[in-house]
Structure 1
Amino acid sequence: MATVPWLVDVLRAAGVQVVVEGDWLNRSAGSSFAPIGVLWHHTAATSSASNPHPALNICINGRSDLPGPLCQALVDYHGVFHVISANRCNHAGVSRGSGPIPAGDGNTLMIGWEIDYNGVNQEMTAAQYNASIAATAAVLKRLGRDASHARGHRETSTSGKIDPSFIDLNTMRADVAAKMAGGGGTWSSVVDNSTAGRFAASASWGTSTYSTQRYGTDYRFAEPVAASDAAWYKFNVPATANYRVDAWWPAVSGYNSATPYIVSTTTGNRTVIVDQRATGGQWRTLGTFTLPAGDANRVAVSRWSSAAGLIVADAVRLTRV
């Protein structure tokens, strides 16, 4: 049986803040463990600055239907790694295979991070993302594997798991690769229309689940008018820098062909017009802009369009470039 008694030292050497949880060297969920990759999860618990690791006890001790430990480390709201086990953990279940990770026993094949956020109306914090990138890069180096061995549970699950929500896993792997190559990694954040405290729209914006191309559980819509009445997406931008702005909308032939997206930059608002009748169900790049640091409304969908058809507000992503 392999173990990873080096985990704490490797994480700390990578600049990750670590808290050791009890007898982590001996805590185990079985004897078959020969990891070749790292698997990302979210806990489905709602974390906050005042309650940064609500799922920690469950991750250590397990549930009535699944004995602990449930991960090698839990990543709290502040990006602190709570190291739980150096051994096999019940986090992955059966792997259907993804990238270089073969089908088989995921608990044997992968080291697991449980990132403590709910994944429904809460995304991971920038601190969680950045710490998880640094930790994943360091562990994969120690294992002698490349960034393709970093996967999300939704990529390997045979039972329809959705975790980790609200991140692009290809972007995650690119950030891990950059970190492994000596770069600083890349900050990225997604705000959906259902992200708590991050989306604001007037009562004129309805809610729909009509299109299966939606991001998340639903999206917002409104008729075009000769007024902005914008739906705003709020981001906590970590530093004044250049950011790629991507938008996601469900495309329907009757939707608006000239939907205005507004980006609040360091030099004022910039407007980008998109056709929401086409290229839906995927990230579409609006452009790269210099955004100021701070927690504020950064991107909006405006109703001010001369074209016919419903205007949709679904999800927006910022990525530092």
Structure 2
Amino acid sequence: MATPLSADRQLKALRDEGVKVTERAGWRTHNRNHKGAWGPVHGVVIHHTVSSGDDSSVELCYNGHSALPGPLCHGVGRNDGTVALVSAGRANHAGSGDGDVLRAVINETALPAPNEADTDGNRHFYGLEIVNLGDNKDTYTRAQYRAAVLWAAALCRAHGWSERSVIGHKEWQPGKIDPRGPIEGGGSFSMTQFRADVRAQLAAKPGTDPAPTNPPKETPAMPLSTEDVKKVWTTDGILPAPSTAAKGNTHWTPDSYLRDTHVRVRAVQTELAATHATVQTLAGLIGRNVDTAAVVAAVEQAIADAVIKVDVDINSKES
């Protein structure tokens, strides 16, 4: 049974963890406590705002709207990596969710899929709204993501919870999709990875930045440098750069190589088909004494041996 943190204790916990905090005027007493109990608290819920613009999103989360009065969360994750505090009490963010999920959070066990809306989540969870359109296209900044990890870790540390007390809105309430969307630098918002990052933060001292639990991997969104190109693309003596790279471009993404390989393979297939047809025609002209299969096999081998030389003349320089 965890008693909710007071405004002062919440603020201290966040700052001690390294969260850059701004305080929206009135946040300490702005709440929905008159509509229901606040506490005991058992965890934190991560959301996206379905809005753009930091200042306007903070005001939206503080005031709410005609269908849902504010406050709509406790903190708002701005694009610049700061968290704006808008409430220290009960807030309209979690709504009714699955009681089985709440029990799993309390026990810090594996989460079941939410299939009911029978439990008041506003009573039991802190909520963070991250400014994002939630259309699966709008990108979370790295600063936003890091601030969200620190915010969740700060509250977990203050209450003695592990990362298993951190859930996404979509893991609490049936039909919800947040948080979702791409993250700056590659990858998409994953609650599994988010919890792993919270776990790493909790294992470190407050205010420190632990090594990433999932180091960035090469993805189409992360360009290769010229040196990477030389190492990867010339290892087998192929070409210094993809034939599909634009002139003057000094960086190529991995999917550039995939497209280039596809172009080259299609070119070889086309040439092979034409050669095969020619051999068949010649065999028909000179009679049945020619071993057509042997001729075709020899031509195919010659083409295979020459694959790496395709377009060498027109790609002798980096594009």
Match of 1:71 among 64, 73, 97: 73
Q: Counterpart of 2:255?
A: 301
Q: Counterpart of 1:192?
A: none
Q: Counterpart of 2:92?
A: 90
Match of 1:144 among 136, 160, 167: 160
* Kept in 2: contact 1:41–1:152 (CA 8 A): yes
Asked if 1:26 corresponds to 2:21, the answer is no
Compute the displacement of 1:4 (Å): 2.2
Query: Distance in 1 between the 2:201 and 2:18 partners?
Result: 12
Alpha-carbon spacing, 1:262–1:61, altered in 2? closer, same or farther (3 Å): closer
Alpha-carbon spacing, 1:127–1:187, altered in 2? closer, same or farther (3 Å): farther
Asked if 1:113 corresponds to 2:128, the answer is yes
Please give the per-residue CA displacement for 1:249-275, whole angstroms capped at 9, x wherever unaligned.
xxxxxxxxxxxx995047323769xxx
Higher alpha-carbon Rg: 2
User: Structure 1: any 5+ residue segments left out of the alignment?
Assistant: 190-241, 248-260, 273-295, 309-321
User: Structure 2: any 5+ residue segments left out of the alignment?
Assistant: 107-117, 183-188, 234-249, 267-319
With structure 2 as the length reference, what TM-score do the two structures score? 0.60
Q: Counterpart of 1:4?
A: 5
Letter in 1 for 2:14: L
Q: Would you tell me which structure has more strand in proportion to its own residues? A: 1
Letter in 1 for 2:59: N
Match of 1:243 among 194, 198, 216: 216
Match of 2:142 among 95, 119, 126: 126
Query: Distance in 1 between the 2:126 and 2:163 partners?
Result: 14
Paired residues in the alignment total 216
Alpha-carbon spacing, 1:164–1:109, altered in 2? closer, same or farther (3 Å): farther
Alpha-carbon spacing, 1:168–1:246, altered in 2? closer, same or farther (3 Å): farther
* RMSD value, Cα: 3.0
Q: Counterpart of 1:101?
A: 105
SS in 1 for 2:37: coil
Alpha-carbon spacing, 1:265–1:160, altered in 2? closer, same or farther (3 Å): same
Q: Counterpart of 2:44?
A: 38
Q: Counterpart of 2:224?
A: 264
Q: Would you tell me which structure has more helix in proportion to its own residues? A: 2
Compute the displacement of 1:69 (Å): 0.4
With structure 1 as the length reference, what TM-score do the two structures score? 0.60
Compute the displacement of 1:130 (Å): 0.8
Match of 2:209 among 184, 187, 191: 184
Letter in 1 for 2:29: N
For residues 196-235 of structure 1, the aligned pairs below 5 Å read none
% identical equivalent positions: 26
